[in-house]
Every structure is written in C-alpha cells, then in structure tokens.
Amino acid sequence: MNKIGRIYFLVGVICVFLTILFTPVFAQAIAINSDAAVLIDAVSGRVLWQKNAETPLPPASTTKILTAVTAIDLSDCDQVCQISPLAAAVGESSIHLQAGECLTLLDLLQGALIRSGNDASYAIGEAVAGTEPLFVSLMNLKAQALGAKTVQFNNTNGLPSEGHVVSALDLALIARYGMTKDVFTDIVKKRTATIGEGSSRRTIKSTNKLLWQSDSITGIKTGTTDDAGACLVASMERDGIKLISVVFNSPSRYDESLRLLNYGMDNYSSIQTVKKGDIIAAVPVLNGESKYVRLVTANEGYTLCSKEEIDGLQVEWNFKQNLKAPIKKEEPLGVMIVKNTKEEVIQKIDLLAVNEVKSNDIFGVWADKIKDFLFGYRND
C-alpha cells in the first residue's frame, strides 16, 4: 500500500470510529420546525421532548379537546340538544347544523372532535351551560383544576380571538386527561362516523389525516387558522407504550407529529417498577392497637425510560413522620419516587395504609365516640 493509500485507509478508519461513537447521539436527535412542540408519556405525564413547550400560543381547533372533556365531565352524553339559531350560524369549519334540529350531546361531541365543527362546539356549550360564554368560563376552570397554567380561552371552537392561548405542554396535559375517558378515546380514534337520526342523520370524516397513516395512531385533534397555523395533537399506542404529541404552527404537522411519536417509541421502553398492592414498608404508629401499619402501592408503577436511564434508576420512599392512631384503611401516608441519573423525578406513586389502626388512647377513643355521636348520624 502506497502513502496515498495508507492516508485514505486511516481516514476511513477514523470515519468508521466516529460513526460508531456518535451514532446513538444522532439517532436521538430530532429536528422539529414547529413554533412549539412537546412529546409526553400519556401514562405518567413525563415530558420526553420539548420545544418552547411552555409558551402560550393560539391553538385553533385543538381548543375543542377542552370543550369535549368539560362537557363529558358535566353532562350525560345521551342528553338531547336542540340547536339554536346562534349555534347554527357559526361559520367556517362546520357540520351544517340547522336551527331547531335535535341531536344528542354524543353526536355533537363527535361533530366537534372528528369533523371539527365550530357549530357543534358552540351547541355543546349552550347545551351544557345554557350559554357559550358561561360554558367557556367552566372550560377555563376545568383547565386550572387539571393543573394547566396558561389556558385562557374565549370560545369553544378556537376561532381567532385576541388572547385565546394555551401552551403546548398544557394542551398535552388536557389531552392526556381526555384519553382517560372512554367516550373521548372512542371518538378521537374514528376515521368516520354517522351521527343524528332521520333528517339530522349525516356521515362525517375525520380531519386528522394521521389516522390513515398508521394503525398505531389513536387520535386526537387538528387545528388550523391563519393566526395559529397548522396545529395537531396526536397520540400513539404500541407495545404498551402510550404517547401524546403536540405541534403548533407546523410547516408539516403530520410528518412532524409522526417523527415525534416514533422518536418516543424508538428511544424509550416501558418499565414496571411496582405492582398495585405491593407491600413497601411497615411504619411505626404511636398510641395504636397495632404498633405498625403496612404501606402498599396505590396503583401499578409503569414509567418510560430511555435506554441510558434503565440501569441508573433510583427509588426513594418518603413516609409521614410520627404517625399517631387512629389511621384509616387506604389513608395516604407516603409516596414512592423514581428518579433517573439526573435526579429528575420520572414517577410518583402514593403509598396507602393496608389496614385500619385504632387508637388505644382512652381519651382519643372517647373523643372519637363523641364525634361519631354528634356528627355520625346514619339513615340505615
């Protein structure tokens, strides 16, 4: 081999070495050109990837996710709703409701979530709260109750309105809650649906084209206005892993959403840390008929971990100190915390008392009896 050949050979060896060394890093890199985006684990809520995820932005028709979950929590989906002239007059994206016709709330939810009907969303607000403005107030309260900090909605459908905003992270949080509701999950995964009866019967087709691109896609909702750009909240389930992505003002919302979701599937694994009812500890109890109370996990412990995190998981148990009887069965007395090597909390599970512990303090016993006598009336 001549000198030139040796140089080319050396360069080749170096290139192979660098490729092997940096391939894991490149494999995990992902370029998203949306103004804001986030990917979360739908089970734990853990953020797996984010870009400007806490910046409030106009969400367009993804607003209807909060409209739907608020209505589902407040009303019976079999409720019959008469369409008002105000609802029928709402324009742009529409399921062409007519004033005076009657549909069930479930029909309207499907019209809003599947076909993105602005008229259906307005009708939902009127049916549940009497007026859309009052229902919007309930939506904002619901968002706050779910822990969303940036929600400020002015309508039920996401039509352009000054100050109508939410962050990608908060919208993912709301969508995650929605995906715990059977009615919601059944609707958002549908490609088509037939709603209404008689003259009100109509077939609608989903605006979410991602549903046709992969059988693993389980929803959720599109949104498009000139102000917000192209938005999409998407979900995927595969091999026990459930993910939710959000993109705002994306130049290619379906491609970017699919890349985010596949990134999560390719780089994370579902790990079971505990089973529901696992006994974690026996904690001392003062003034109790029993000296200890056993603590068990409140639910199944699944968390998503990257391949690098699996071997470095750390578990902490925090118990209430100086416990005194009486203690009620299933009373929360501690928490199990799972952290990764960066000390980031990736899972929390409540620890509950497995049994009741009565007090052996005579004064405490009589105090409980007096309290039961005064306030513990029953209609047996």
The DSSP code sequence of 10-46 is: HHHHHHHHHHHHHHHHHHH-----SSEEEEEETTT--
What token pair was written down for 113? 């979530």
Based on the residue annotation, tell me whether 206 is a catalytic residue of this protein. Answer: no
Based on the residue annotation, tell me whether 167 is a catalytic residue of this protein. Answer: no
Residue 211 and residue 192 in contact, taking contact as beta carbons nearer than 8 Å? no
Which among 356, 354, 355, 357 has a CA at the least distance from the CA of 290?
357
* Active-site residue identified among 34, 44, 61, 206: 61
Distance CA 183, CA 196 (A): 17
CA distances from 184 to 20, 36, 75, 262 (A): 45, 25, 13, 23
Q: Would you give the DSSP letter of residue 166? A: B
Distance CA 53, CA 30 (A): 15
Based on the residue annotation, tell me whether 116 is a catalytic residue of this protein. Answer: yes
* Active-site residue identified among 34, 116, 245, 257: 116
Distance CA 52, CA 302 (A): 27
The DSSP code sequence of 172-210 is: HHHHHHHTTSHHHHHHHT-SEEEE--GGG-EEEE-S-GG
Distance CA 361, CA 365 (A): 6
* Active-site residue identified among 34, 44, 51, 64: 64
Residue 84 and residue 103 in contact, taking contact as beta carbons nearer than 8 Å? no
Catalytic center residues: 61, 64, 116
